[in-house]
């Protein structure tokens, strides 16, 4: 059921993104379109939709998103994701904790010790052995989008 919903969401997001574009107008993909096209952020797309954050992350930005993969969401304890999808306030707080205002490229991240999330709390950054944001490893960096950048992480990070 969840995969069916996620597939329908992806198709809706792709159709919505393509709506209104003329065939002759090439356009760089925004954060949402880029994540959907990657195919490994289906759960994130579902959560963004449930939290009402699609329009925000399709907005002007720029934003830096530490994006957990589907596998990262699968690491959450059983029932956690389902409960979050029903609690919009808590889901929004968690998702906005993964976003930083501005375009922070990998070269910038390694010079930081922390960054303020859109949720309001600071995300701890550790570059002593690879790059970690809180307890998540950054596994891919600098996926440039029209309105910011995505860095892929292997765990969902949670505000304190």
Domains of the chain: 2-20+29-153 (2.30.180.10)
Strand partners, 63: 101, 148
Asked if residue 75 has pLDDT above 80, the reply is yes
Alpha-carbon span 137 to 42, nearest angstrom: 19
pLDDT band at 27 (very low <50, low <70, confident <90, very high): low
Confidence of residue 8 (pLDDT cuts 50, 70, 90): very low
Q: pTM of whole model > 0.85?
A: no
Tens digits of residue pLDDT in 108-160: 988 999 999 999 999 999 999 999 999 999 999 999 999 999 999 999 999 98
Rounded distance, CA 4 to CA 21, Å?
A: 27
Is residue 60 within 8 Å of 147, Cβ to Cβ? yes
């Amino acid at each position: 059921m969840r995969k069916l919903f996620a597939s329908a969401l992806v198709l809706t997001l792709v159709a919505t993104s393509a709506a209104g574009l003329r065939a002759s107008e090439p356009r760089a993909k925004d954060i949402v379109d880029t994540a959907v096209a990657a195919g490994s952020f289906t759960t994130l797309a579902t959560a963004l939709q449930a939290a009402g954050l699609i329009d925000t992350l399709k907005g002007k930005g720029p934003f830096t998103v530490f994006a957990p993969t589907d596998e990262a969401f699968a690491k959450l304890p059983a029932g956690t994701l389902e409960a979050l999808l029903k609690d919009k306030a808590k889901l929004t707080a968690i998702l906005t904790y993964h976003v930083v205002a501005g375009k922070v490229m990998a070269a910038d991240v390694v010079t930081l010790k922390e960054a303020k999330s859109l949720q309001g709390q600071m995300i701890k950054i550790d570059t002593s052995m690879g790059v970690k944001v809180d307890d998540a490893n950054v596994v891919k960096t600098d996926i440039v989008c029209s309105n910011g950048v995505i860095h892929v992480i292997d765990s969902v990070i949670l505000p304190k």
